[in-house]
Structure 1
Amino acid sequence: MTGEARNPSSDEQPLDGLTVLDASRVLVGPFCTMQLGDLGADVIKVERPDGGDQTRGWHPPTYGEESAYYVSINRNKRSVTLNLASEDGREVFRDLASEADVLVENFRVGKMEEWGLDYSTLKERNPDLVYCSLSGYGEWGPQKDRPAYDIMMQAEGGMMSITGEENGPPVRVGVAIADIGAGMYATQAILAALLYRELGDSGGQKIDVSLLDGQVAWMSYMASNYFATGDPPGRMGSKHPTIAPYQAFETTDGYVVVATASENLWPKFCRALDREDLIDDERFAVNADRVENRSELDQILDDEFAQYSTAEAVARMEEAGVPASRVRDMEEVFDNPQVRARNMQQTVEHPTIGQMKMAGSPMHFSQTPTAIERHPPLLGEHTEEILHEFGYDSETIANLDDRDIIG
């Protein structure tokens, strides 16, 4: 990359020319590097020869013969198999890292240093390298060596203390948001480090992102509520701690979600339910009153919504100008005309599956659009291609293969 201005063409992408060496697996790292790949970076996914990324084996369900989990987070990458347990394999990795712009890894804390693949070692050959390490608890602190999984991070970071029904058991969010959140923070940090590198003569730097830190940061206003009051917030189901009504209500055939998020919506909401009497009820006059008298209001509204089907309730709210929606499942999500209009369902050609549907990228640019240009790679699909690009001749590659360094 250079800091020179350029006039982008319609087929250029923001990170064209950037090389990312992806030594991560499972979710947090691959989610981060998929975003970089969507933005145009050449992402080289380094995998173990004996099975590759663990998520390749996480099935059912499968998409054709591929793990549905694996394909969801590994598009726009090329796969090279490399045995990092061997010194020869690690030396090949050092060669790749010497020409990369970014390295992403999520091995246990200390493993890359043990292998001689840590930032201090690799920056000697490549001082411009942006090196991002991802872990459960971070690289320092009394818990840095603990194993970590998403459900643990949702529990330790506070998310499960505020998720679930009131007086009910704690509930994990349905997707692995600790991994996804940390992956998003990692992408932001990498892009910031690249910008800093390009704007000056500072070279690369080391980035440390942890799942726990990400969950703590995501507590946002819940953390602020605690700091302000000294009382830890609890579980409230779909309700909002400082807005009412802002929640799901049960109908005759499902649920409707309503967001009465400003004072001017409250009269509209009441009229939509033919309950104009509530507008001037002193218990519910302003939002602070509605929050304070939430239990009484909930009982009234539960009874009202129980009279309508979900479609009827949504229609009444929308006609009155009150934000509302039914709770959509995946089929309904991808049938949504707005989702389709925004290209959030795309297809890519896969060598064994054929046309593969995928969720699109939410990043939309006016001049340098994101694109799905590569299918989630087969294990080692690009090993020879990549090694040739990095100066390895056919004889050397064959020798590495014979010794199980690359296959």
Structure 2
Amino acid sequence: MRLAILTSHPIQYQAPIFRELARRMDLEVFFAHRPTPRQQADAGFGVAFDWDIDLLAGYPNRFLANKARNPGVDNFFGCDTPAIAQALREGGFDALLVCGWALKSYLQAIAAARRLAMPVLVRGDSHLLTPRRRLKAWTKRAVYPRLLRFFDAALYVGQNSRAYYRHYGYPPERLHFSPHCVDTDWFAARATTQARQALRASLSIGEASLAIAFAGKLVERKHPLDLIEAAALCGAGGREIEVVIAGDGPLREAVQARAAQLGVRLHFLGFRNQSEMPAVYAACDGLALPSSGQETWGLVANEAQACGRPVIVSDQCGCAPDLAADRDTGRIFETGNVGALAAALADLPTGTATRSALAALACRYGVGAAADGIEAGLASCSKRTADHRRTSEVLT
């Protein structure tokens, strides 16, 4: 089996999956765009940067020529790669995996694969909780049941992802679980007691203090101000919480000002690159992810849990039913309900049962499980193709 994979750009969460697949099969990964450090800042990180871990090693890959007038990954026309057709035609591939369909490049690849009678699989994290205007929702209900049938297999990343495909009538026998994941071993190995003690000491956080992490862009859809408000409520109720923010963005000044106004002890770390994040999680006692439904998953929750930390997530986050429904691994609260968030913070799970449950969850939502799902999808496509050929031979 030789697999072609098309994705938008190098992503820190996808690279471990590609490496694992490269150990199992012959593949090549195509990137539609190479972001600049400035584009990373414009995407909401607040600072220009390059990732400090190698996202390209361990698997064959190449960047396609992006012909878009305004190249980027934040709009449909930002990735225009007509060369994918020739790459698929000449590459000797047996199947194509696309990581979504919201870019022109993906549709170019799907069309090219169809012309070559090549099975197409899709892996994405769309869910039904993302706010949509009525016209857009109506259009999707009319179009998506037919559109999604272009995919020979769909790889769902979690429960909300599966519900999305089923909502649009996608056949259940063509759905395969390939969970959203991080390299759990990598995070766990770096989230040490020494890392915890060192960062807490540098921030003057006492060992008896409860520290909650917020990791991500400081933008409206992630509701960082809700965490500050909830921490203040906890303090008023006699449970002091210190907030550690690893991130940057347009709401930075507002968050700092509100924390000062409410007397919440805030440790603002600014943007932290990938290699620095395990120490952040280790130093904290849990992670809060109060995002709106635009948070199609929330992979920082996987990161925190890989480091042995429970998570508190809003009910509109895509990962909520998978990573936080078990009360030993996390808490779920109503999006935008600051009182409910405060109650969840005060009820953070701890102890031996939590550590054991988090370890088990990290295995179920690990790189190996994601690769297993992709292999299962490929196997089902091969079987369908073989069955179709046998049927055609009988009829002729």
TM-score range, shorter chain: 0.3 to 0.5
- Name which structure has the greater RCO, CA cutoff 8 Å, separation 6+: 1
TM-score using structure 2 length: 0.33
Looking at CA atoms only, which structure, 1 or 2, has the larger radius of gyration?
1
